[in-house]
Structure 1
Amino acid sequence: MKKYSGFTFLIGLAAAVVTFIPVKKAIAAVPLNQVQQVKATWPAATFQIRTPGYPAFKTADMGHLFAGQKNCIVRVAPELNGLTGVKMPAGFYEKGEDQPLKLKFKEPVKLLLGFFQDKAKTFRQPGSGAQLVLDSALTVTGLPSVKVYAVAYPAGTHTINPAGSGLFTVLGVVKANQPLTFRNAGLPDGRGWEPFIVEGFYDNKPLFDIVGGPDKPVVEEGMPGTEGIQGGFEGGAMVKIKGTYHMFPTERAGEKEVEAYYDRVKTRIGHWTSPDAINWTRQSTIYQASGTYALTEDDNPMNDRRGAIWSYMPIFNEEANRWYGYYLAYTVHKEIEPNHSFGRIWRAESTIPGIDGIGGPYTDKGIIMEPGLDSQPWEGRQGVASFFPYKVGEEWLGFYSGAYPFKTWADYPKKTGKGWFIGLAKADKMEGPWTRLDSTVNPVTSMHPWFIENPIVSKLPNGLYIAVFDGGPDGWGHHLPNMMGYSLSKDGYTWSEARYLPIETKVKKWWDIMRTPLGLIPEGNNVYTIVYAAIDLKRRYHPMGMVQVKLNPAVLDMKKQELEKTAILTGAQNQAKK
């Protein structure tokens, strides 16, 4: 269960100890994805790139400015939005590594160059004759603010190589007669964002192409089955059986005429079915939370430990010939952040045997993970905040999560930091006992250093494991990708850096905050279906959406080779240390 608030901390990690790193002062709020709502107000002029190795890119949201580097645009002034820029090769700013950029213009133009502003670090600066036209014109992840200068060029081929050393960027070309009036766009410094990789923008070999999906929610307020659900939906899981989709979302039920926060307390797990992942029918309630607030601040048996219920994950146990359901139950406090605390993972079994028993009813079989002496400080006050098991060889691994970490146990129960982490637990069988792995593995930060939520694992055709997850919001004081992400693994233990899926390139963006994917469902012909939860900030109700993506088998094989090489290299390094 997720709760984001405050301009607080980024989290770094050393072994099992969480290090608290203060963020620079709060960044001014800017409307999310404003770049998608306007076209560039400075019309573009055509040009040709005459130097090999310098591809073009769009100066727009998610555009990556430098080949081989993760820095991407997350805010852009409307004057520039949609112009064609030039992606510099990695290492260009180190003298002598690459040929200087040559551009050919068919007519007189004004070239728009971006220069990064930081007194503590040297960046290239414009020469004489350059006209300052925009200040704070871009927010680029991990980089300082950008000033844009216009430089006039006649028709012909020209070398673009401002004096000095360091980064600069080519953001577009406009006609010479285009009037350019200076303006401070007021966009925030990009160093409040950690750089991240957007699929299809970082390079031209994405693992997944976005096929598309409905341009509106597939489960929406007022549809049959949504009666009694005040706040919409959040994460859970979806499976497909004999052509029918079965979805188990968290329903933020709440109560009528009760504040919206109670939607997150009075929750329930619903069972929905669909023939196409678009038209859904509600079948039943699997579990209902008590909605009761805690009496004490600590993890005390006096409190109702099922005040809120979230994140139901159905897994079929072939040996037992039954569905197992893993779900999260919280203690909920009215005043302490996070209000949802001391999470516990319950295991349930379907009373009806066989694959058709997916709809339940289910019987609780007890708690498999909870706060205790084997908890790790990064799990924090939120406790075990999600769980998803997957089989690796003859054993089982399980992703479990935590949030609001403790720096040390002396900070228990209220002195918490910020960060949403995952770790791995291990068992010989699905029933457990489940054992947390140690600090050489946990928390798993290779995907992202401080935010991964609700990973769901499946296998791809070439045997690689894939985890899909919530990549975190660009909002509520957090500067995260605001997209669902994925990570790959060869062995189930070591996971690659996250890549994020820009589904808004093919689906009309009806949401402000992207939330949780409910899994990756194979459809054949390399196509996969994803149902996801998302938020329109203008509304209390959080709907569900749907998108399809297509896997590129050649890229998948390339990814496997990369992971194998990494494993060999890591093994050699570990052996050398011994």
Structure 2
Amino acid sequence: MFKNKIKYHFTPLTITSVLMFLICFQFSVTAQNKAWNPAPFEVIKSDYKTFKTTQYAHVFSGSKHNIVRLAPELKGLQGVELPLDTYKSGTNSALKLKFKENVVLLIGIFQENGSEYLQSNKLQKAKLVLENGVTITGLPPVNVYAISFAKGTQTILPDAKGLYAILGVVKSNQKLEFRNAALPDGKLWNPTFIVEGFSDEKPLFEIIGGENKPVVDEGIPGTEENQGGFEGGRVVKVGDNYHMFPTERAGEKGVDYYYDRVKTKIGHWTSKDAIHWKREATIYQASGTYAVTEDDNPMNDRRAAIWSYMPVFNEKANKWYGYYLAYTVSKEIEPNHSFGRIWRCESTIDGINGIGGPYKDMGIIMEPGLDSQPWEGRQGVASFFPYQAGDKWLGFYSGAYPFDSWADYPKKSGKGWFVALAESNSLEGPWKRRNKGIKPIKSIHPFFVENPIVSQLPNGLYIAIFDGGPDGWGHHLPNMIGYSLSKDGYQWSEARYLPIETKVNKWWDIMRTPLCLIPEGNDVYTIVYAAIDLKKRFHPIGMVKVKLNKEVMQSRLEELKKE
């Protein structure tokens, strides 16, 4: 990246001094930014709920707005969930809180002019303690002010008009030192999204636990030739055995990390518990050969990178089929994965136990062509997953890096990760884009749905579990596994997102793709997922357990039937 390299010379004394300074500085920052001491309080004559001020906390009832960033001083305090609409319109009733001692109330003020937000100049005897101290999805940056209240029942800001947030109550002797927490604008997370368990509705899934570290990580047997870890694919369960077919970002020893996502393999791993895994075989291996032209040209190797292997058992044929993605790879044009083609293969061994193959290719079932649409973009067709709906087979297919029009082909692409449905009378095909693929499905999320895998819940509801998009690489997306529901497999609901880190240690920075939603009995499901720890080149595999709420499942089905 940098052409000019500057050389610095350090003596041992200099290095020691620098290290001591950094240690002392880090200790000072950590000590200064410790969580403030909460003070107890009670909401008087109101049905307003309280919330714990943490990541994903639901700040306003009647909304999807949640905290995605907060200064550590606020963590663990107790806030009050205010009704969004009445506070924005200034029609809210007075809020009364009862304090058992003298306290300091922490108020979040949005940094935007207008009558719908309470303005900081309307506060009396308030002290600014945290600039940019909280990020709330879809809303302007938040400054945090401290207001002192005496022991007893107090009416909170009775003359204030406009929306604000009550983020916590601390003891009056708490030392509140001003600083700029420098947290980002919540409007970067647009649109807002529903976090499971942090909204007005009951969650469909409860996170009940899982492994607090990766289950497949660098250094375990089977990863010796894998430089970059894993991404995408599917896990299925046959009898008591789990079978995982991940994309292995194999790369090449001595070659930089960018090549990991070019020279890929499809591996086959097995496990008895979805925790301890053994690598069995390589199903497919990509060539890793870069394209020689920038367009979709047969001169290029169209199997340069292979991804997203999806095994599906065909009961009629009594054998396993595999659907996978092969790319042309450009070295110069974003995205380097271009002009995806979906291949179908079949196990050469009949029966449910033939899942390990070997597999033989049966040909391409979807590819760029005359029936493609500009939204499929330079990367499409970028994934495929088939499932049965009535007497038809449907398949989620995807596109990415869309063209505004074909005039932008082949390299002037935008941003967006979309899905639509293809249709067939059989798993073999032919597969056709439904409604000629004119529009992608935006009811799930308007611009990011990646690698959906479909199954059915016990009451017949279809569920698609998918990669909800990163909070990284310049994107501000949920950074959680998402799911969408459908009553018929055709119409799909707005996504909900699973905050796995609320019940297991968060070892990742960027959540990526779920590989399964496997029922285990007693309404418990296993999710195996790929994620990224930015401190390392190798992208590991994790596992978590969730529990289905059947009452919520049935109510969601009834809601979808009314639509």
Scaled by the length of structure 2, the TM-score of the pair is 0.92
Q: CA deviation at 1:164?
A: 4.2
Aligned counterpart, 1:533: 530
Query: Is the alpha carbon distance of 1:438 and 1:97 closer, same or farther for their aligned partners in structure 2, counting shifts above 3 Å?
Result: farther
Aligned counterpart, 1:503: 500
Q: CA deviation at 1:90?
A: 3.7
SS of the equivalent of 1:135 reads strand
Q: Which amino acid aligns with 1:237?
A: R
Query: Is the alpha carbon distance of 1:90 and 1:127 closer, same or farther for their aligned partners in structure 2, counting shifts above 3 Å?
Result: closer
Written as runs of structure 1 = structure 2, the 5 A alignment for 1:218-367 is 218-367=215-364
Written as runs of structure 1 = structure 2, the 5 A alignment for 1:20-169 is 41-95=35-89, 98-119=92-113, 122-125=116-119, 126-161=122-157, 163-169=159-165
Scaled by the length of structure 1, the TM-score of the pair is 0.89
Once residues 144 and 351 of structure 1 are traced to their aligned partners in structure 2, the CA distance between those partners, rounded to angstroms, is 58
Choose from 457, 463, 482 the match for 1:460. 457
Q: CA deviation at 1:204?
A: 5.6
How far does the alpha carbon of each residue in 1:147-195 deviate from its partner, in whole angstroms, 9 at most, with x for none? 1111111111122245343211100001112222222211111111121
Aligned counterpart, 2:202: 205
Aligned counterpart, 2:448: 451
Q: Which amino acid aligns with 1:406?
A: F
Q: Which amino acid aligns with 2:72?
A: P
Q: Which amino acid aligns with 2:295?
A: D
How far does the alpha carbon of each residue in 1:407-426 deviate from its partner, in whole angstroms, 9 at most, with x for none? 00100000000011111111
Aligned pairs, number:
531
How far does the alpha carbon of each residue in 1:446-480 deviate from its partner, in whole angstroms, 9 at most, with x for none? 11110010000000001100010001110110001
Q: CA deviation at 1:196?
A: 1.2
Aligned counterpart, 1:548: 545
Query: Is the alpha carbon distance of 1:148 and 1:428 closer, same or farther for their aligned partners in structure 2, counting shifts above 3 Å?
Result: same
Q: Would you say the 8 A contact 1:66–1:87 is kept in 2?
A: yes
Q: CA deviation at 1:439?
A: 7.0
Once residues 171 and 221 of structure 1 are traced to their aligned partners in structure 2, the CA distance between those partners, rounded to angstroms, is 41
Q: CA deviation at 1:484?
A: 0.5
SS of the equivalent of 1:438 reads helix
Q: CA deviation at 1:559?
A: 0.8
Query: Is the alpha carbon distance of 1:38 and 1:289 closer, same or farther for their aligned partners in structure 2, counting shifts above 3 Å?
Result: farther
Query: Is the alpha carbon distance of 1:94 and 1:221 closer, same or farther for their aligned partners in structure 2, counting shifts above 3 Å?
Result: closer
Q: Would you say the 8 A contact 1:381–1:413 is kept in 2?
A: yes
Q: Would you say the 8 A contact 1:483–1:500 is kept in 2?
A: yes
Q: Which amino acid aligns with 1:66?
A: F
Q: CA deviation at 1:390?
A: 0.6
Once residues 558 and 185 of structure 1 are traced to their aligned partners in structure 2, the CA distance between those partners, rounded to angstroms, is 42
Q: Would you say the 8 A contact 2:95–2:158 is kept in 1?
A: no
SS of the equivalent of 2:435 reads coil
Q: Which amino acid aligns with 2:209?
A: G
Choose from 171, 177, 184 the match for 1:181. 177
SS of the equivalent of 2:553 reads helix
Task: Indicate the structure (1 or 2) with the bigger Cα radius of gyration.
Answer: 2
Q: Would you say the 8 A contact 1:380–1:402 is kept in 2?
A: yes
Q: Would you say the 8 A contact 2:371–2:436 is kept in 1?
A: no
State the identity as a percent: 69
Q: Which amino acid aligns with 2:263?
A: K
How far does the alpha carbon of each residue in 1:311-360 deviate from its partner, in whole angstroms, 9 at most, with x for none? 00001111111111000000001111000000000000111111111111
Aligned counterpart, 1:371: 368
Aligned counterpart, 1:27: none
Q: CA deviation at 1:40?
A: 5.2
RMSD of aligned alpha carbons: 1.7
Choose from 486, 490, 494 the match for 1:493. 490
Once residues 179 and 449 of structure 1 are traced to their aligned partners in structure 2, the CA distance between those partners, rounded to angstroms, is 44
Aligned counterpart, 1:427: 424
Q: CA deviation at 1:555?
A: 0.8
How far does the alpha carbon of each residue in 1:78-105 deviate from its partner, in whole angstroms, 9 at most, with x for none? 1112211111124231557553322110
Once residues 91 and 38 of structure 1 are traced to their aligned partners in structure 2, the CA distance between those partners, rounded to angstroms, is 36
Aligned counterpart, 1:413: 410
Once residues 459 and 34 of structure 2 are traced to their aligned partners in structure 1, the CA distance between those partners, rounded to angstroms, is 43
Q: Would you say the 8 A contact 1:59–1:172 is kept in 2?
A: yes
Query: Is the alpha carbon distance of 1:326 and 1:38 closer, same or farther for their aligned partners in structure 2, counting shifts above 3 Å?
Result: farther
Q: Which amino acid aligns with 2:473?
A: W
Aligned counterpart, 2:7: none
Once residues 531 and 216 of structure 2 are traced to their aligned partners in structure 1, the CA distance between those partners, rounded to angstroms, is 11
Aligned counterpart, 1:20: none
Query: Is the alpha carbon distance of 1:302 and 1:481 closer, same or farther for their aligned partners in structure 2, counting shifts above 3 Å?
Result: same
Aligned counterpart, 1:514: 511
Q: CA deviation at 1:537?
A: 0.4
Aligned counterpart, 2:562: 565
Q: Would you say the 8 A contact 1:424–1:442 is kept in 2?
A: no
SS of the equivalent of 1:136 reads strand
